[in-house]
Structures are given as C-alpha cells and as structure tokens.
Amino acid sequence: MPVNRGHGGYDERGDSQRQIRDIPVPITPQAADNKPPWDLKFFALNARSHENEADEYERAFLEQLGADKKLESESTVRKIGGKPYLVFV
C-alpha cells in the first residue's frame, strides 16, 4: 500500500497522522461570549432524560428515518423561540 508522507501523512496502515496542532485556525469562530455560533442537541424516542426527548419535528424525522432506509439526513429552517434556525438532522 502506498504511504502518503505529505502534509499530515499516513502511516503504513493508511491511518491519518494529522494532528489538531496542524490546523492553524480555529475550526469554528467564537462569539464575544466565547460560545460557538451553533448548538447541538441529542434526541431520541422514549429518551431517559426529558431534555433529550424528541419534539414533534424530530419525532417525525425519526419515524421517517425508520421507514426509508435510504434517508440519511434532512435540513430545514425552523422557528425556535420566534427566531429562524437552520436545523440539520
């Protein structure tokens, strides 16, 4: 197997050798309050924690995901708290 020894490089198994230190800029920009400009939510049906319980939109997506084996993701704009947000599930 050819071994790429360029920027980041690969070892003999082909695994990437790139380290975080090789990235000269932050992956995501930070706001003045030092929070990333995005939020992450885990959701599930019958979640153990009420905070992770799927809302109506998320529940519909999970049901559709179970019915359509080719479906992998979906994105849309939703209003949350009166503000528009890009949502990717």
Domain locations along the chain: 29-88
The residue that leads in pLDDT, 88 or 28, is 88
Q: What is the mean pLDDT of the chain?
A: 73
- pLDDT exceeds 70 at position 20: no
**Dist. CA 33–CA 15, nearest whole Å:** 37
**Dist. CA 13–CA 2, nearest whole Å:** 9
To 5 degrees, how large is the angle CA 72–CA 73–CA 74? 145
Whether this model's pTM surpasses 0.75: no
